[in-house]
Structure 1
Amino acid sequence: MTEKGSRFLQYMAASTGNLNIVACGAILGWTSPILPKLAEDNPIAPDNQLLRPITIDEKAWIGSLVPLGVMFGSFVSGYLGEWLGRKRSMLMSTFPFLIGWILVGTAHDIIQIYAGRFILGLALAMPFTVLPMGQSLQIASDVISSMISAFAKSRRKILIPTVTLSPPSLAQTVLTIGSSVQQVAIRGTLGSFLQLFITFGFLFSYSVGPFVSYTVFWLLCASLHVAFFIGFMFMPESPHFLLSKGREAEAAEALARFRGKSLDGVRKEMEEMQTEIEEAYRIKASWNDVFKVKVNIKAIVLTSILMSFQEFMGIDVVLFYVEDIFREAGTSNTAISAIIIGFVQMISSVITPIIVDRSGRKILLVISSIGSGITVGILGAFFYLKNKTDFDTTTIGWVPLATLVVYIIAYSIGWGPLPWAVMGEMFAPAVKPKASSICVFTIWSFSFLLTKFFTNVTPDVGFFFFAACCAVNIVFIVFMFPETKGKTLAEIQQKLSRGRSKAEEIGEESSIRNSVAGAENKMVIYGDLAEEKGRELTRY
């Protein structure tokens, strides 16, 4: 008789783990309510510890230093996750988070705020790297599994590739859904969950920040990390990590605790996990291997462009500076308007997992580009009329809020989750950590540049620029980017390899064979498993 088990501990791990993601969203959204307070000069805000208003350039640095920190921190976080384990690395990230908040909260000098924001960015890279591959995403997967299993026509067990959010960790490449009935068609759904929890953090900042003092707000933000630490310290380590270190007995105990079963009840799952981990660790790919294979290079270029366009939609500028945007537009109640934006973003992120795998990636990205482009174009026109003509924009004062609401909805159905999902689909497991690190570094680089320099241009120029980028996005998606929905890695990479001569294909196969030991490893580079062609290699 099959042991039923319990998911209580899994849900607890998900709740506490995702609390850290909510805290990360609060860090990103902190600038929206706080920068206007620090910029007030008539009179200076009573809780402005700098005792002077900040300049436009200082405002830009405060907003952009978190992305800069994530850029550098992401290269270290993956290695720490593999070295220390998911649990310990996540718990350790609490300390730089608290150091960053203390620096920001007690600052009487702008340089101290800069240092605190940069450290917060360094720390933020850790949960973005480790948590999506650990217990919390496993819970999201299990929840979907139980829903699908009720009406699934196929009883065939299919594994789902994870969505990578930061470099470079072996855990990024693999996710095994234990005792689940999953289909390739729903893998994009999983990529929407982390976005959902980040939106909770943004809404927290938008809803709380304007109505409490500077000091109370940073203490509340820091308390989220403390609550995470207290809850997560009682969770077991990832069974995948323990097995990868040869600690089979501890892995079995951890898996049994997560499943709420006896050791005998998880024996079969342990054997499957052990086999898969042994196979994964036989596959090695160096940086040289990544760039020897033309399919890999093409996938990196296309995915990096896709990730860059996500930033050039203007999303970080809008979310980081939403209250400033409303204030510049002359909106009467900027705080309430920001809360509405945060709420719409959260609701859109709840709906996104439902629709993201019902349509192709390309059609959703095109629709998202059209909707986002039109709305930021209208917003640019509004600011042009307001700042450069004699037109009385008070008669259309509803335009900024209405356009940004539609913009957030349009962005959330396509460009919000799908670039991350696509990044998890484009690369073979052996090269995914290194290839993903390039793509993620690219997106955070552009996030830094856009949030830093947007304040140096007039709002109309900035939003017209984003509208133009949306138009370019459409051309890129329609004519250059392959459809990945429902495709195995082998099928995706076959599409990418079209147009090469036979000699090039033979040469590439030879290069792979020389770079990766064994013909089986060569097959993995192309996304084919020697034992089961067409199924993607995935792990927990």
Structure 2
Amino acid sequence: MSFRDESEEQKKPFLHTGSWYRMGSRQSSIMGSSAQIIRDGSISVLFCVLIVALGPIQFGFTCGYSSPTQAEIVKDLQLSVSEFSVFGSLSNVGAMIGAIASGQISEYIGRKGSLMIAAIPNIIGWLAISFAKDVSFLYMGRLLEGFGVGIISYTVPVYIAEISPQNMRGSLGSVNQLAVTTGIMLAYLLGLFVNWRILAVLGILPCTILIPGLFFIPESPRWLAKMGMTEEFEASLQVLRGFDTDISIEVNEIKRSVASTSKRTTIRFSDLKRKRYWFPLTIGIGLLVLQQLSGINGVFFYSSNIFESAGLSSSNVATLGLGVIQVLATGITTWLVDKAGRKLLLIISSTGMTLSLLLVAIAFYLEDLVSEDSSIFGILSLVGLVALVISFSLGVGAIPWLIMSEILPVNIKGLAGSIATLANWLTSWAITMTANLLLTWSSGGTFTIYTLVSAFTVVFVSLWVPETKGRTLEEIQSSFR
């Protein structure tokens, strides 16, 4: 039944949206006055993206929280350095658990339901940290936060990709990473003014706004189509594209894409041996693993040491400056990605990272060779680090998540997305845990390893990553057959 053909008086409950739709004659009511907000399709999609972007802001806040609070937490709770290191790393452990569950949760209860589930442990985790009297509450809170972040890191890019029109999908998809960097910057900024307990309470805000916000946005139309909810699927798509838009062509494309998929279809690991599945999965995993193998998280974790070697008196302020630079560079990516294309930006980004890491490596080698102290080597390291953050933010930071959400076929997206997200978090944990040991062994050698990985990323992208700009999700996924 067409969305436009239903009678004026007919009402249908819109499953998983918490809203009611009145069908016919281009009229709809979404929680009362919300219909006026989403009358235009682009405004509707933007509104949805801004709501779900609260999840990545929470993600970034969790990542940035430990940096400005380390000294206070260690002092107040009398922790050892190793105990605080465990506290910091537990978010990665929780995220790995969340990543394993994210795909299946998202498939069974929808993208919105997944975000609702992710928000709850985040809120509980922040409360546990804010009231912590010993390490047990700190550890429990950090683990819960990580679990929620693991679900968010998969679900938000997928939801944005599935609701966005093809000409806006790149820019809107990049909002995910922009929100993450904004969350990191906010943690750095607020950490300069409030103590660690208050900062933990402030960490609750994104998810407490996200939960009610989810009731005002529609579920992913592609998920609804996959689950066989035809009327709800068409209603959701009509809301997202605007009530004056003819959606019949897009409806038919999506229906053809999911025609062979039943909501009861069980996808097994053995099915991933087929090229239409293993090739996009390999690309998705490859990009997300290489993103972390570049050492970016290790660099961020030890950036204060590099700032101090450059002679900067306030490493916290300098770290905040680095966060601001990252937000600005990611904002540029959001603007460029639908104009320049994903592949070109990835090549430029990974090339810039290679040169930046090489500069830092050379600075450390020269520092070891020259016996006398010189601030010039610290300045070179600082320049290389800033260039690294800018280069990372221009592509490698945001685009792997975007491409992963675009290329995975809808019927394996839950399983394959969980695998790719788990690979990313596992690699992130490994880099964070080994960076300190590697830097102790040889700073120049460490950055040389990261340089080689970034150079390989240039080759990987050039040879295997497809350009997805200007193509529908159905066109992208059918190209792998």
Could you say which TM-score interval applies, normalised by the shorter chain?
0.7 to 0.9
Identity level (%)? 26
Counterpart contact for 1:337–1:401, Cα < 8 Å: no
Matches within 5 A, 1:394-405: 394=375, 398-405=379-386
User: Could you tell me which of 421, 431, 441 is aligned with 1:450?
Assistant: 431
Offset of residue 440 of structure 1: 2.4
Alignment of 1:112-127 (within 5 A): 112-127=137-152
Against the structure 1 CA distance between its residues 379 and 469, is the aligned structure 2 distance closer, same or farther, given a 3 Å change threshold? closer
Q: Distance in 2 between matches of 1:466 and 1:296?
A: 34
Alpha-carbon distance in structure 1 between the residues aligned to 2:222 and 2:344: 36
Q: How does 1:6-405 map to 2 (within 5 A)?
A: 6-7=40-41, 9-39=44-74, 44=75, 48=76, 50=77, 52-55=78-81, 57-134=82-159, 137=160, 162=161, 175=162, 177=164, 182=166, 188-248=170-230, 250-251=232-233, 254=236, 258=240, 261=243, 268=248, 272=252, 275-276=255-256, 278-279=258-259, 281-282=261-262, 285-291=267-273, 293=274, 296-297=277-278, 300-301=281-282, 303-323=284-304, 325-327=306-308, 330-356=311-337, 364-380=345-361, 382=363, 390-394=371-375, 398-405=379-386
**Superposed CA offset, 1:481-509 (max 9, x none):** 325226999xxxxxxxxxxxxxxxxxxxx
1:85 match: secondary structure: helix
Kindly state the Cα deviation for residue 66 of structure 1 after the two structures are TM-superposed.
Answer: 1.4
- Find the aligned partners of 1:38 and 1:324 in 2 and give their Cα distance: 19
TM-score normalised by length of structure 1: 0.70
Task: Sort the Cα spacing of 1:328 and 1:31 in 2 relative to 1 into closer, same or farther, 3 A.
Answer: farther
SS in structure 2 of the partner of residue 332 of structure 1: coil
Distance 1:34 1:324 in 2: 16
Query: Does structure 1 residue 435 correspond to structure 2 residue 469?
Result: no
What's the offset of the Cα at 1:96? 0.4
- Partners of 1:483 and 1:274 lie apart in 2 by 24
Q: Partners in 1 of 2:128 and 2:367 — Cα distance?
A: 38
Does 2:400 align with 1:419?
yes
Q: What is the match of residue 5 of structure 1?
A: 39
Quote the Cα distance in structure 1 between the aligned partners of 2:397 and 2:387.
14
Spell out, residue by residue over 1:217-246, the C-alpha distance to the aligned partner (whole angstroms, 9 max, x if none).
Answer: 111111221122233334344444445445
Q: Is the 8 A contact 1:103 1:112 kept in 2?
A: yes
Q: Is the 8 A contact 1:65 1:114 kept in 2?
A: yes
Native 8 Å contact 2:128 2:140 kept in 1: yes
Q: Distance in 2 between matches of 1:472 and 1:453?
A: 15
SS in 1 for 2:395: coil
Cα pair distance change 1:10/1:359, threshold 3 Å: closer
Cα distance in 1 for partners of 2:140, 2:459 equals 42
Aligned-residue CA RMSD (Å): 3.9
Q: Point out the more displaced range, 303-312 or 62-71.
A: 303-312
Determine the C-alpha separation between the residues in 2 that align with 1:486 and 1:227: 33
Deviation per CA, 1:257-296: give whole Å up to 9, x if none.
Answer: 555639xx778479547734751525875321212x3675
For the 8 Å contact 2:281–2:416, the answer to whether it is kept is yes
Distance, in Å, in 2 between the alignment partners of 1:475 and 1:254 is 42
In the TM superposition, what whole-angstrom CA distance separates every residue of 1:442-480 from its partner, at most 9, and x where no partner exists?
221110111123233436835642332322442464378
Cα pair 1:300 1:435 within 8 Å, conserved: yes
Give the direction of change, closer, same or farther, for the CA distance of 1:458–1:176 in structure 2 (3 Å limit): closer
In 1: Cα distance, 2:448 partner to 2:354 partner: 4
Consecutive unaligned residues in structure 2, runs of 5 or more = 5-24, 27-37
Give 1:275's aligned amino acid: K
SS of 2:466's equivalent in the other structure is: coil
The 2-side partners of 1:470 and 1:430 are apart by 37
Question: How many angstroms does 1:132 deviate by?
Answer: 2.4
Q: 1:357 and 1:6, CA in 2 relative to 1: closer, same or farther beyond 3 A?
A: closer
Contact 1:360 1:483 in 2 (8 A): no
Q: Secondary structure of 1:74's match? A: helix
Larger displacement relative to structure 2 (198-207 or 231-240): 231-240
Deviations 1:17-66 (A, max 9, x none): 21222121111111221224335xxxx4xxx2x1x2531x3343223221
What is the TM-score when the length of structure 2 is the normalising length? 0.77
- The letter for the 1-side match of 2:118 is S
- The equivalent residue for 2:30 is none
Distance 1:435 1:341 in 2: 33
Partner in structure 2 of residue 513 of structure 1 = none
Amino acid at match of 2:393: S
Shift of 1:204: 0.7
| Conservation of the 8 A alpha-carbon contact between 1:31 and 1:321 | no
Partner deviation per Cα, 1:117-148 (whole Å, 9 max, x = no partner): 121111112222222233xx2xxxxxxxxxxx
CA change 1:206–1:463 in 2 (3 A) is farther
The worse-fitting range, judged by mean Cα deviation, of 298-307 and 341-350 is: 298-307
Question: Unaligned stretches of 5+ in structure 1?
Answer: 138-161, 163-174, 490-523, 529-533
Cα distance in 1, alignment partners of residues 119 and 457 from structure 2 = 40
The equivalences for 1:479-498 within 5 A come to: 481-485=463-467
Answer whether contact 1:32 1:323 (CA < 8 A) is retained.
Answer: no
